Chain A
Amino acid sequence: MITMARDLPLLWPEILVLLAGAGALACEMLRLPRTALAVATALLLAATALSLPLLSLDTTVFGGTFRVDALSVWAKLILLPATVLALLLARAELAGSDREGTVYALLCFTSFGALVLAGSGDTMFLVLGVLLSGLGAFALVAYPRDDAATEAAMKFFVFASVAGAVMVFGLSYWFGATGTTLLDDLATPGLPPAAIAIGLAGMIVGLGYKASLAPFHFWAPDAYEGAPVSVAAYLSVVPKIGALFALAQVARDLPPGSGWSGAVAAVAVLTMTWGYLAALVQDNLVRLLAYSSIAQAGYFLLGIVAVGASPLALLSLVLFGAAYAAMNLGAFAIIQRSGRTLESFAGLGRARPAVGVAMVLFLLSLTGIPPLAGFVGKLLLFGAAIDANHTWLAVIAIVNSVLSLAVYLRIVVALYRQPAGAPGVPAGGALVTLVWVAALAATLLIGLAAQPLLAPLV
């Protein structure tokens, strides 16, 4: 068929991601976990490379249901390398465990789900993406099969089921009112805004849960805490960015006057403030970073509010997405190498200066201190929000950034404190080191080379 011949090549990256998952499964069947890792990594990198030629496109495939536009392609360029880093983290943490290869396969499938979300041109993709990126995630969280992990996965699963049900329920009304599932058709003039109210609310619940936006974030700290650190790192980056990009895809087509921007701005304020306030009292670093990742999701919303109103919006989302992926994965990698509690970080900065400096840089970048990646991303987000006449939102975001300094400085202080007992600093494996070095390089590169990176995008 004609459309197949045109459309399928545009989906090569997705197909390769699927193949990566399937290949990892096949290797797992043969009990070859190392080969599974190698196959998955190679195919994911190949998928990243194949995404590059698509960068200039702005088109859709299969009758407008899936978009191959800047947001969707950048999602691949950000999320696939992030998945590779997560694979390496998982290898370092779970090597030798039973069903190791399945973990790699599930990571690939979950990333596929995130890509489906990021390119949604149709409400069906929203549903499928949320489902697909959830199913694998439950198994990944429960993977260690101890009590903590099982409980975490159970909460995650039930919460996700309710959220998913609400979303599908809402979207069915959306379909009833508009007679179509295409997001493009939302822009049809004359569509009464209230008709899609249930659909919009349901969709915010579903994507909000996936992106852990307040008040749909409750599952995240529990699930991250019970899960292996590498899985927590992965969940805090890949599905989250996928869902946020999906929100941006929806925002592009919404009719004006639907109350959308006000609602998103309110969620942004709630998410940022709640996340940082809760993070302030955590002693478990995984929980702390979980709340921090909730708060960071609120910053993305500044860009989503501005979609359509500011030329900076998409740019800021992409740049902050890349920055967030790098700095968050880096911080998690160092937690994986050094321990989950604040106490286990005591004196790390003195015992291992390079690790300490890297962690400080990740944390400063998360705060948004120049000249690191987080600053560039947040600056653009603030600019986008101000462009879109949401100056008050930008001001609240800046105030929250100050609050976040208190959150992150607690870790920095711990890094350079005298350890209470004997300094039992574990040596990190080569893989973890590779991950944080790569993340650090990205954090610095995005921060320092902002203009050269931005110039072709603007």
Chain B
Amino acid sequence: MENVYLAIALAPLVGAILAGLFGRLIGRSGAHWVTILGVGLSFLLSLLVFKHHVIDGAGAFNGTVYTWMVSDGIRMEVGFLIDRLTILMMMVVSFVSLMVHIYTIGYMHDDPGYQRFFSYIALFTFSMLMLVMSNNFLQLFFGWEAVGLVSYLLIGFWYKRPSAIYANLKAFLVNRVGDFGFLLGIAAVAMYFDTLDYADVFAAAPSMVDATIEIFQGSPWSLMTVVCILLFIGAMGKSAQVPLHVWLPDSMEGPTPISALIHAATMVTAGIFMVARMSPLFELSDTALNVVMVIGAITALFMGFLGVVQNDIKRVIAYSTLSQLGYMTVALGASAYSAAIFHLMTHAFFKALLFLAAGSVIIAMHHEQDIRRMGGLKKYMPVTYWTSLVGSLALIGFPGLAGFFSKDTIIEAVHASSLAASGFAYFAVLSGVFVTALYSFRMFFLVFHTEERFDEHTRSHLHEPPAVVTVPLILLAIPSVVAGYWIDPVVFGDYFGGAIFFSDAHPVMEELTHEFHGAWSFVLHGLTGPAFWFAMAGLFTAWYVYTRQPDLANQARNRFAWLYRVLVDKYGFDRFNEVVFAGGARGVGWLLWKAGDVVLIDGLLVNGSARVVGWTAAVARHLQSGYLYHYAFGMILGLLAFLSWFIWWG
């Protein structure tokens, strides 16, 4: 099987290299064929691996493919850990990536950077697969950085737009903060565990529970807490948790297929995956779990609110992504790792679907993204309409659809959790359901229903995009409906086996499993739960406010102008960063310039030294090659210094 694993990772890489370096040679269709074949191969082989491990019941594979170097006893290796968690991620990544590849043929049809684009997304697929298949921290970090790199490249894909460059830079800088924490976390692991291999670290972790680390003299902290929080800071950057979330909405400057693939379905979930992978570490620190839960809850609720006031179709979905990532994080904090991963999977399907549908709308509207200038698209774009409906219903957790199962499980898990933060988190995720339904269907109604708010010219060209766009929509709609029924084995069964670890102190999933009696009864139970009614309330509010009483929204906006301002300002995170960080950096820069350059360099060094050694310069002018004298003099001074050193020492 080892060769199969290798092939899964390398097939997209080969495609990326062919499309990237020989793009001109193989042409447009050549570029999309090699990359699609590569990613398609990965997907098919992932299915094969699924069959081998899950259906035929082979044990997890943990092996080194290649030893890069051994330094001071720490082995740096490329290796694969193929357990059921990995397999699930591999299938999700390769499937969504394949859909996006196909969709891109239609979406980027007229773009001059066609080959480059395919090369990037295939490269991304490779990096993401390496990330999830890794069996050690080093490779995890490489994959982590590589997906980040491709993400920046793609956000800035349309590099001629200043806003794209700005967004690109912002994503880069914000992620540096997260990566710094992540790197420190890995360094701490390497320092205390003396290995970078997952299995070794996890095996040694329980014996480290009581270990402490003294960063500041006299205040020992629990090692596990420090490590977990540092690692989680990395996850916050990549998975866009408050306050490191600011880059994600701006990343919508990238082409829509990217928003679907990277900024919704796969890369941003890397943080979630990582924490789930590290469950044997996180389970050892209640403090870290509380932090995770609080951050997730804040993100889940407050980012949802922002979706309600956005008018850009992609940004609405972006805030929805932030909010859903918050849900996953809350689940992690509640030790419901399987629920988080399950939500990750269902979210990947329906969010990719929603983004691609939004892209479909954007193409049809000639790159108009403002939902205030849409409306009534239902009759022009039936396929997009129905698939969007499926996606939106799945997102709000309509019973029976994929999102319902995963989200309800998370809410139940938070309810069952006994951590200190669970009370607040339960409130946040429950209210979040209402908000989710509100912004989702606000967008849905404004785009597909209500009166047409665009001009005649647009109307005349309005039609359903070609099959390469609609087929991925339909293919993604299917798992958005049915993936939820997999809940039985994945969340409550023993699908994950040893891949995810629960400590006895957090028996959340056990409790839920007791109450679980099959998917259908789960649906019925859901119909009576508060979450369902919150969602319905949100849906109804959206319907009433935006289709029946459009004035109501305006009145509300005027009445609560301050609230509206706060939301439009996105709670001032951007303003805060602008003033404090950017302004601070500018201030420090100005200070350095003033104090350093003007006073020290110009004043003392340049002018001062000009006076002090002015006569040397005069000598230089008189002699034909004065510089050479300076050189020689420098050499003599060096000689003198060495001579003194050796004599004084000897």
Contact = CB atoms under 8 A, between A and B. Distances in A.
B618 interface: no
Contact of B649 (A155, A193, A371, A379): A193
Contact of B635 (A151, A195, A215, A383): A215
A450 interface: yes
A194 interface: yes
Nearest to A203: B642
Contacts of A214: 638
Contact of A371 (B68, B72, B642, B643): B68
A197 B647 CA distance: 6
Contacts of B639: 166, 201-202, 205
Given A155-B628, A354-B21, A197 B635 contact: no
Interface in A252-276: 257-259, 262-263, 266
Contacts of A219: 631
Given A194-B647, A197-B646, A204-B642, A451 B69 contact: yes
Interface in B32-89: 67-72
Contacts of A258: 646, 649-650
Given A159-B628, A159-B632, A354-B21, A215 B638 contact: yes
Given A154-B625, A155-B627, A450-B69, A218 B642 contact: no
A200 B650 CA distance: 12
A71 B625 CA distance: 39
A163 B631 CA distance: 11
A205 B638 contact: yes
Given A371-B68, A383-B71, A448-B68, A209 B635 contact: yes
Interface string B610-650: 00000000000000010110111011011100110111111
Contacts of B643: 197-198, 201
Given A353-B20, A454-B69, A197 B650 contact: yes
A234 interface: no
A255 B569 CA distance: 69
A218 B635 contact: yes
B23 interface: yes
A151 B67 CA distance: 50
Contact of B628 (A158, A354, A451): A158
Interface string A371-385: 100001001100100
A159 B642 contact: no
Interface string A177-199: 00000000000000011111110
Given A194-B647, A197-B646, A448-B68, A208 B631 contact: no
Contacts of A162: 632, 635
A299 interface: no
B650 A216 contact: no
Nearest to B649: A259
Contacts of B68: 371, 448, 450-451
Interface in B490-519: none
Contacts of A192: 650
Contacts of A218: 630-631, 634-635
B469 to A, nearest CB: 28
A198 B643 CA distance: 6
B213 to A, nearest CB: 20
A357 B21 contact: yes
Interface in B200-221: none
Contacts of A370: 142
Given A159-B628, A218-B631, A451-B70, A353 B638 contact: no
Contacts, number: 102
Contacts of A202: 639
Contacts of B650: 192-195, 197, 257-259
A353 B23 contact: yes
B522 to A, nearest CB: 47
B627 to A, nearest CB: 7
Given A215-B637, A376-B69, A448-B68, A262 B627 contact: no
A370 B71 CA distance: 14
Contact of B646 (A154, A263, A380): A263
A455 B44 CA distance: 37
Contacts of B628: 155, 158-159
B631 A159 contact: yes
A69 to B, nearest CB: 24
| A196, A216, A218, A257 interface centre (most CB from chain B within 10 Å) | A218
Contacts of B646: 193-194, 196-197, 200-201, 258-259, 263
A379 B630 CA distance: 36
A158 B23 CA distance: 52
Given A158-B628, A159-B628, A201-B646, A451 B67 contact: yes
Contacts of B72: 383
Contact of A259 (B21, B23, B71, B645): B645
Nearest to A197: B646
Contacts of B69: 376, 379, 450-451, 454
A200 B642 contact: yes
Contacts of A266: 645
A214 B634 CA distance: 9
B635 to A, nearest CB: 5
Contacts of B630: 218
B635 A216 contact: yes
Contacts of A193: 646, 649-650
Nearest to B635: A216
| A155, A158, A197, A219 interface centre (most CB from chain B within 10 Å) | A197
A159 B142 CA distance: 46
Contacts of A205: 635, 638-639, 642
| B71, B628, B639 interface centre (most CB from chain A within 10 Å) | B639
A41 B262 CA distance: 50
Contact of A159 (B67, B635, B647): B635
A157 to B, nearest CB: 10
A243 B639 CA distance: 17
Nearest to A458: B70
Given A154-B625, A215-B638, 6 more contacts: A158-B632, A162-B635, A163-B635, A222-B627, A263-B646, A451-B70
17 contacts: A155-B625, A155-B628, A159-B631, A195-B650, A197-B646, A202-B639, A208-B638, A215-B635, A215-B637, A216-B635, A218-B634, A259-B649, A262-B645, A266-B645, A353-B21, A379-B69, A450-B68
Give the 4 A-B residue pairs with the shortest CB-CB distance, closest first. A259-B649, A193-B650, A194-B650, A197-B646
